[in-house]
Amino acid sequence: MVRDVSGREYLDFVAGAGSLNYGHNDPDMRDALISHLEQRGMSHSLDLSSSSKSAFLRAFESLVLLPRDLDYRVQFTGPTGANAVEAALKLARKVTGRTNVVAFTNGFHGVSLGALAATGNRHHRGGPQIPLPGVTRMPYDGYQGAGVDTADLLARMLQDPSSGLDAPAAILLETVQGEGGLNVASAGWLRRIAELARSSGALLVVDDIQAGCGRTGSFFSFEPYGIVPDLVVLSKSISGYGLPMALLLIRPEFDVWQPGEHNGTFRGNVHAFVTAQVALTKFWSDPTFTDEVARRADLLAVRLAEVADVVPDAVVKGRGMMRGVDVGSEELASAISRRCFGNGLMLETAGSHDQVVKVMAPLTTSDELLNRGMDILLAAAQSVGTGQSVGARRSVGPARDVLGASGLVPA
Ligand SMILES: *Cc1c(COP(=O)(O)O)cnc(C)c1O
């Protein structure tokens, strides 16, 4: 729940675009942070070792990597997702001596120049007014309709010496496209892309910034598919408390950085290490947590199907607790999200035309609050989707702009 300046309460199903998977102000993370401050723990240590960093790394190794039989080195990059994507692309290029990166339609990887080159969205790409080179765009799974396996096209172009596709340093993807409209890649497609990366000598890079940290049900979004990326990017919910933190996971054989080669002042956000360590030990040492998330995700899917039922041609999208409804137009999605906001529910829209109403409730949301939010969404879809009075039914940019102007603070 968050409360605005006039004391009105809202259910927050935006959750920091996936940065608050454990909700606002988790009491154990808050206590750990307060205690760190009270004990005059360091707040900045450049990229040097610190007890907070060590504690996080130990938790990450024992609770995330070892149980999944994953062997990665952890690189702390600058604290934003885009910072970590930049590091991943730079490293893949350094490892392979190649320039080109394959990225996909509707992919979102951040808005600094290197990451933006891999981002599909025209609205963001238009910003810098300079070329965004070094990326070949390929169709994501499902982009050309259900009957077309877009991995065939990539396979063919990688094999054909005259396809014009320069040998890639990396194939970069999200397993569920968060900003791109909750498009879910199939297991078969992901496995084929992983195989194509291997056979073409490219590094497979999974951008798990939004889909990771439990959002799709498992810690990493790729776990159910048996693929092991060469590089993995995490940010958003890795600190657990909404604090800036990002990291790059590197298979050991690809750690070719020289010491300090990819540096940065804010690579060690000590406060984020403190809360991140609590997030891992509190939620990821408890096997019932993922069961609970799976159960809640099923409930969400059922409730979203009800929403889709009342909007003609609407489709439920996504996976785990990363789901929504494609209502077919930005106009409708925006009207629904505004109606929800007016009734005390914050949610965002996503997709190439902002036509997907996106539910990113914290993974820890109680059934009661989840149902309360979904009741509001269903009522909004009923009134708006059937064309009853909608209030201002005009298209005015993403819902995030509305939220930004509303002066909301966590309750
Ligand atoms: C949010 C996001 C990014 C960018 O992260 P920033 O912290 O905004 O730079 C990159 N990739 C994905 C999949 C994201 O959801």
**pLDDT tens, 142-189?**
999 999 999 999 999 999 999 999 999 999 999 999 999 999 999 999
- Do both 92 and 123 map to the same domain? yes
Task: Report d(CA 185, CA 319) in Å as an integer.
Answer: 10
Q: Is the pLDDT score of 375 beyond 80?
A: yes
**pLDDT tens, 334-361?**
999 999 999 999 999 999 999 999 999 9
Residue 152 lies in a domain: yes
Residue 256 lies in a domain: yes
**Range scoring the smallest mean pLDDT among 56-60, 202-206, 267-271, 361-365:** 267-271
Mean pLDDT along residues 272-282: 98
User: Whole domain around residue 227: which residue ranges?
Assistant: 42-283
Quote the pLDDT of residue 386.
63
Q: Write the residue with the smallest CA distance to atom 6 of ligand 1.
A: 81
Quote the pLDDT of residue 11.
98
Q: Is the pLDDT score of 192 beyond 70?
A: yes
Write down the H helix ranges in 201-259: none
Domain containing 122 — which CATH number?
A: 3.40.640.10
Mean pLDDT along residues 384-391: 56
Quote the pLDDT of residue 402.
41
Band the pLDDT of 268: cuts 50, 70, 90.
Answer: confident
**pLDDT tens, 127-155?**
889 999 999 999 999 999 999 999 999 99
Domain containing 380 — which CATH number?
A: 3.90.1150.10
Nearest one of 326, 377, 324, 312 to 355, comparing CA atoms: 326
Ligand 1 contacts CB of residue 238 (under 6 A) = no
Determine contact, residues 321/217, Cβ cutoff 8 Å.
yes
Q: Is the pLDDT score of 391 beyond 70?
A: no
Band the pLDDT of 40: cuts 50, 70, 90.
Answer: very high
- Which of 260, 283, 306 delimits the end of a domain? 283
Quote the pLDDT of residue 408.
52
Ligand 1 mutation target, pool 111, 179, 205, most atoms within 8 A of CB: 179
Q: Is the pLDDT score of 393 beyond 70?
A: no
Residue 36 lies in a domain: no
Nearest one of 300, 255, 288 to 92, comparing CA atoms: 255
Ligand 1 mutation target, pool 109, 174, 206, 245, most atoms within 8 A of CB: 109
Q: Is the pLDDT score of 395 beyond 50?
A: no
- Do both 106 and 173 map to the same domain? yes
As to burial, measured by CB atoms within 10 angstroms (0-12 exposed, 13-18 middle, 19+ buried), residue 221 is: buried
- Do both 384 and 342 map to the same domain? yes
Which residue reads 């702390």 in tokens?
76
Residue 35 lies in a domain: no
- Do both 381 and 405 map to the same domain? yes
CA 86 vs. chain centroid, Å, equals: 16
Ligand 1 contacts CB of residue 64 (under 6 A) = no
**pLDDT tens, 219-231?**
999 999 999 999 9
- Do both 214 and 82 map to the same domain? yes
- Which of 230, 252, 283 delimits the end of a domain? 283
Specify the pairing of strand 100-104 against strand 168-173. Answer: parallel
Residue 206 alpha carbon to ligand 1 centre in Å: 12
Q: Please state the domain count of the chain.
A: 2
Main-chain dihedrals φ then ψ at residue 263, nearest 5 degrees: -100, -165
- Which of 241, 262, 283 delimits the end of a domain? 283
Report the percent of the chain where pLDDT is more than 70.
93
- Do both 99 and 246 map to the same domain? yes
**pLDDT tens, 84-116?**
999 999 999 999 999 999 999 999 999 999 999
- Do both 279 and 338 map to the same domain? no
Residue 335 lies in a domain: yes
Ligand 1 contacts CB of residue 80 (under 6 A) = yes
pTM (predicted TM-score): 0.94
Whole-angstrom CA distances from 381 to 58, 104, 170, 318 are 46, 31, 41, 18
Ligand 1 contacts CB of residue 210 (under 6 A) = yes
Q: How far apart are the first and last CA of the chain?
A: 6
